[in-house]
């Protein structure tokens, strides 16, 4: 086994209030850590550029760290040359910051489509060559048939069977990190809530927590519980919707209709209790923006009962439809070794036996005091990803009930402490997996470098592999079972 | 499966009563469509949704239009896959430089007459993404917009009201 293990490197160092040990490293140690990722000694969590430095967040067993390396006029040793999961991250870093990862195995741009003013280019984007007899290509997107985000999928097929899929994203790149630079905390929170509309609570929370740990800003106990309720309602609304979407892609629209109704039910209750259907801008630095009134507790409890009933009913119907399971079982298998290599989070990881859940691995309030299980399956197919969602619905229902029980009157937001220059990071379990967000702040309370890494970065590439050998017609159902983000990744 | 049907009978209809078209939208459309060719479309509009760089929040709410509560097909409104079949472009997000060409190509592929509806604050003024160097501009800087439906994101019922106004004026 090669490489340096994170655990050995940081053994004697204390973690900051955000749980991260921060160290400057030499390029040799940097490379050894990259090799350590490849050897499975720790997981790559994020990789970004920050004022003349490249930084790498790593997760070890129970410990995590952010390592920084000064670049040599923009040059630094590539991570992806040792550890493939870093490849798209490094291509994006090159496009946005002009750094030069030495040894980068793929020199094609990622986010830069040759359209940005002053950087226009007519150079054709070359997809990787696929050679063989009787192969044909199918180009799909960026605009897809349904109402979903834009991205391009290039299939190479032999008859109906997919030989290779290559993804190309970046269409929704909005320059989010650059917009955050120089913004104040309040504007930062509004932008963070719109990183990915489906994970608005999770990202607002990640931003708030990163800022709070940077400033030593304490959050009132009631707000911590309310954040948990908001985040679990968000998870429930998406999990039930995804189950419907997967069944819909197999032609079972009755299940989808029931799931969409149930999702609408969640959103209506959210709107009534928190003032916004998607609960956007509800989590803010220092606490939450909207309190849950005493009258709101009953409707949420009733909602949980209806959700439980719907879940049981859908599972009963799902189990009774062999023709539906014929489409989901053994379809789109994500191999456990790939999931481990990419440290894929969320239901993608957990359906292939990777038991990582941020709420368990690096607990934050209120999850540090909640009794729940990180549910896993081992088959890694569409069915397993659906079942993990079903299992997680049960856990979320239990969590929301317990959080409601514990609510006591109190403040929902605290005043900010005096601004100090500093930095903080947060890892939050969004519905689709772990979301990483790191901020730096100056003494005037202005944001410096903010970096965001969606769970999708380490899930999308696995979809490319999972679809191989499946028929093209099964791509929608596989894709839905992954439900990765576009905007959250393109930023 | 039968239980679903029985359940539906027991619970009664989930679908909400049709809302009245948004008055402000009617006014905006009256101006926008006054000089444009009108054609009887039999009170049915085919919609091509295009995400031109949104955060996905608007897509979630547009998807909700198809749920049994809003059920927009009852109004003759239908989402279609091909721009060749589209009467209406329902566009979300600030238009990013990286999506501009795809949006234009889809628009140009649709037959006349066609209408453009911007959904969400981003389509109107780029929302929180205003000022970004990765954004080409609001929808109106790229396509002729007939109607804006504001909100971040607009609730499905707001989108229904806007689309009903469009039906009244364009259909």
How confident is the model over A412-466, as pLDDT tens digits?
999 999 999 999 999 999 999 999 999 999 999 999 999 999 999 999 999 999 9
Helix axes A294-319, A221-249, angle to 10 degrees: 30
Instruction: Check whether B169 has a pLDDT greater than 80.
Output: no
In angstroms, the first-to-last Cα distance of chain A is: 36
**Phi and psi of A310, rounded to 5°?**
-60, -45
Q: Are strands B88-92 and B45-51 parallel, antiparallel or unpaired?
A: parallel
Residue B26: the pLDDT is 80
Query: Which conformational region is residue A19 in: left (phi greater than 0), alpha (psi within -120 to 50 degrees), or beta?
Result: left
Residue A1: the pLDDT is 46
Average pLDDT over residues A473-485: 96
Distance from CA of B135 to the nearest CA of A (A): 6
pLDDT tens track for A64-73: 999 999 999 9
Please state, in angstroms and rounded to a whole number, the distance separating the CA atoms of residues B33 and A99.
Answer: 50
Please state, in angstroms and rounded to a whole number, the distance separating the CA atoms of residues B50 and B118.
Answer: 10
Q: Is B58 on the interface with A (CB under 8 A)?
A: yes
Q: Which two tokens stand for residue A293?
A: 């009134």
Residue A2: the pLDDT is 66
Instruction: Check whether B40 has a pLDDT greater than 70.
Output: no
Kindly determine whether residue B131 and residue A148, on different chains, have CB atoms separated by under 8 Å: no
Residue B32: the pLDDT is 67
Residue B34: the pLDDT is 53
Average pLDDT over residues A216-241: 98
Distance from CA of B133 to the nearest CA of A (A): 7
Kindly determine whether residue A174 and residue B1, on different chains, have CB atoms separated by under 8 Å: no
- Of the candidate ranges A22-36, A454-468, B4-18, the one whose mean pLDDT is the lowest: B4-18
Instruction: Check whether A286 has a pLDDT greater than 60.
Output: yes
Distance from CA of B90 to the nearest CA of A (A): 10
pLDDT tens track for B57-88: 999 999 999 999 999 998 889 999 999 999 99
- Residues of chain B positioned with their CB less than 8 A from the CB of A485: 56
Least CB–CB distance from B1: residue in A115, A172, A254: A254
Instruction: Check whether B11 has a pLDDT greater than 90.
Output: no
* Confidence grade of residue A202 (pLDDT, cut at 50, 70, 90): very high
| Contacts of residue B55, Cβ cutoff 8 Å, sequence gap at least 6 | A194, A195, A196, A197, A200, A487, B93, B122
Average pLDDT over residues A395-411: 97
Please state, in angstroms and rounded to a whole number, the distance separating the CA atoms of residues A206 and A219.
Answer: 14
Instruction: Check whether B37 has a pLDDT greater than 60.
Output: no
Please state, in angstroms and rounded to a whole number, the distance separating the CA atoms of residues B29 and A483.
Answer: 36
Rounded alpha-carbon distances, angstroms, from residue B78 to A481, B51, B65, B159: 25, 17, 10, 13
Q: Are B80 and B112 in contact (CB under 8 A)?
A: no
Kindly determine whether residue B134 and residue A178, on different chains, have CB atoms separated by under 8 Å: yes
pTM of the model: 0.95
């Amino acid at each position: 086994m090669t490489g340096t293990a994170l655990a050995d490197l940081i053994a004697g160092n204390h973690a900051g209030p955000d749980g991260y040990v921060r160290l400057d490293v030499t390029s040799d140690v940097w490379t050894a850590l990259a090799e350590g990722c490849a050897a499975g000694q720790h997981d790559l969590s994020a990789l970004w550029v920050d004022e003349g430095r490249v930084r790498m967040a790593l997760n070890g067993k129970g410990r995590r760290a952010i390592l920084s390396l000064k670049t040599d006029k923009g040059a630094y040793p590539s991570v992806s040359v040792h550890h493939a999961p870093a490849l798209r991250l490094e291509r994006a870093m090159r496009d946005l910051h002009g750094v030069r990862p030495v040894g980068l195995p793929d020199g094609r741009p990622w986010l830069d489509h040759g359209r940005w003013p002053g950087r226009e280019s007519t150079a054709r984007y070359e997809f990787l060559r696929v050679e063989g007899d009787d192969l044909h290509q199918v180009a799909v997107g960026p605009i897809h048939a349904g109402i979903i985000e834009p991205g391009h999928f290039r299939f190479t097929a032999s008859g109906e069977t997919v030989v290779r899929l290559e993804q190309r994203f970046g269409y929704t790149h909005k320059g989010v990190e650059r917009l955050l630079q120089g913004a104040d905390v309040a504007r930062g929170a509004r932008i963070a809530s719109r990183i990915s509309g489906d994970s608005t609570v999770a990202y607002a929370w990640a931003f708030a927590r990163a800022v709070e740990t940077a400033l030593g800003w304490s959050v009132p106990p009631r707000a911590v519980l309310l954040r948990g309720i908001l985040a679990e309602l968000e998870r429930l609304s998406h999990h039930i919707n995804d189950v419907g979407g997967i069944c819909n892609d197999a032609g079972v629209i009755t299940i989808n209709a029931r799931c969409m109704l149930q999702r609408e039910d969640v959103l209506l209750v959210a709107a009534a209790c928190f003032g916004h259907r998607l609960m956007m801008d509800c989590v803010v630095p220092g606490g939450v923006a909207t309190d849950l009134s005493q009258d709101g507790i009953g409707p949420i409890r009733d909602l949980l009962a209806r959700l439980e009933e719907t879940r049981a009913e859908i599972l009963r119907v799902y189990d009774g439809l062999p023709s539906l399971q014929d489409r989901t079982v053994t379809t789109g298998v994500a191999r456990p070794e790939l999931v481990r290599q990419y440290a894929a989070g969320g239901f993608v990881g957990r359906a292939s036996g990777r038991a990582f859940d941020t709420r368990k691995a690096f607990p934050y309030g209120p999850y540090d005091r909640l009794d729940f299980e990180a549910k896993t399956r081992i088959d890694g197919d569409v069915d397993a990803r659906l079942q993990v969602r079903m299992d997680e619905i049960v856990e979320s229902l239990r969590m929301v009930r317990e959080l409601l029980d514990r609510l006591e009157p109190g403040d929902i937001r605290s005043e900010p402490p005096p601004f100090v220059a500093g930095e903080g990071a947060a890892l939050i379990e969004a519905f689709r997996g772990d979301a990483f967000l790191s901020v730096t702040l100056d003494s005037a309370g202005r944001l410096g470098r903010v970096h965001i890494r969606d769970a999708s970065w380490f899930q999308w590439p696995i979809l490319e592999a999972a679809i191989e050998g499946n028929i093209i017609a099964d791509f929608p159902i596989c894709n839905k079972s992954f439900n990765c983000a576009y905007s959250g990744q393109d930023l | 499966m039968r239980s679903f049907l029985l359940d539906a009978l027991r619970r009664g209809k989930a679908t909400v009563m049709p809302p009245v078209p948004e008055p402000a939208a009617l006014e905006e459309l009256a101006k926008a469509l006054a000089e444009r060719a009108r054609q009887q479309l039999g009170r049915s509009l085919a919609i091509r949704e295009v995400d031109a760089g949104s955060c996905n929040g608007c897509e979630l709410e547009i998807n909700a239009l198809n749920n049994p509560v809003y059920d927009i097909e009852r109004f003759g409104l239908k989402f279609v896959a091909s721009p060749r079949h589209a009467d209406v472009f329902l566009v979300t997000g600030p238009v990013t430089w990286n999506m501009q060409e795809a949006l234009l190509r889809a628009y140009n592929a649709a037959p006349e007459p066609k209408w453009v509806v911007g959904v969400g604050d981003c389509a109107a003024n780029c929302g929180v993404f205003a000022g970004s160097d990765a954004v080409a501009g609001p929808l109106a800087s790229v396509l002729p917009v007939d109607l804006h439906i504001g909100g971040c994101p607009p609730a499905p019922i707001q989108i229904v009201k806007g689309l009903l106004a469009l039906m009244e004026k364009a259909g």
